[in-house]
């Protein structure tokens, strides 16, 4: 189930932070491609759990959010951020939204370290931070209609269905990953779950009352 659009009827501002984050992720990825040794670059700036668990490389909890392992990894993350980030940014405001995004990303990285403290594979990607954005969207805009592709078939479903399916997949993949040192197919599902749970808590604390406005249907 791939999201391709949502209802922006009540969005009041241009999502400059969301667009800026997308641009920054793309620029950093292009810089990755120009590295002579991409693997070493990812190890240097990615979040390596065993290193962080020993109090080293804590800055990589932030830098790793802007690194990606390939084009599909990047494009998938940026699609979710593009579809769901704008309404969350509009509800929170630009500065609060940026801080929310970064904190969710850090919490996601820490969750993966907690799950696999001895892992030496660097964690990279915006997935943890975007998981927090999805949590905020679910809480504030859960009934918002979202356009999705199910295979080749376009559908419109409530956001809680789209995001609910996503989090269920993360949960079960995360359980499967625990048996494989918390990683499955190179994807840090623990970070996804950590970012989502962090996003729920932060949204419940910071949730602006203006987010409780009515939603319209897609036309």
The distance in angstroms from the start CA to the end CA of the chain is 20
pLDDT at residue number 116: 84
Read off the pLDDT of residues 26-53 as tens digits, 9 standing for 90 and up: 999 999 999 988 889 999 999 999 999 9
Q: Alpha helix locations (H) across the chain?
A: 16-33, 38-45, 49-52, 60-63, 71-92, 94-115, 127-141, 159-178, 189-206
pTM score over 0.75: yes
Which whole-number Å values give the CA distances from 66 to 23, 29, 105, 126, in the listed order? 10, 8, 10, 6
pLDDT, averaged across the chain: 85
What are the residue numbers of the active site?
Answer: 127, 192
Indicate if the pLDDT at residue 186 is higher than 80: no
Read off the pLDDT of residues 92-106 as tens digits, 9 standing for 90 and up: 999 999 999 999 999
The domains found in the chain, sorted by start residue, are 2-209 (1.20.1540.10)
């Amino acid at each position: 189930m791939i999201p391709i659009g949502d209802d922006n009827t009540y969005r009041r501002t241009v999502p400059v932070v969301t667009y800026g984050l997308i641009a920054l992720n793309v620029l950093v990825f292009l810089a990755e491609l120009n590295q002579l040794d991409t693997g070493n670059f990812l190890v240097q700036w990615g979040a390596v759990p065993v290193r962080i668990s020993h109090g080293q490389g804590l800055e990589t909890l932030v830098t790793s959010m802007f690194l990606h392992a390939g084009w599909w990894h990047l494009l998938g993350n940026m699609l979710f951020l593009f579809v769901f980030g704008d309404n969350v940014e509009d509800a929170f405001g630009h500065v609060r939204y940026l801080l929310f995004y970064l904190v969710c990303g850090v919490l996601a990285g820490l969750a993966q370290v907690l799950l696999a403290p001895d892992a030496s594979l660097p964690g990279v990607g915006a997935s943890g931070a975007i998981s927090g954005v999805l949590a905020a969207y679910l809480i504030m805009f859960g009934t918002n209609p979202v356009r999705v592709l199910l295979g080749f078939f376009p559908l419109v479903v409530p956001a809680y269905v789209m995001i609910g399916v996503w989090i269920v997949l993360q949960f079960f993949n995360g359980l499967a990953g625990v048996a494989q040192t918390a990683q499955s197919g190179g994807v840090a599902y623990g970070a996804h779950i950590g970012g989502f749970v962090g996003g729920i808590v932060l949204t419940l604390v910071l949730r602006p009352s203006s987010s409780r406005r009515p939603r319209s249907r897609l036309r």
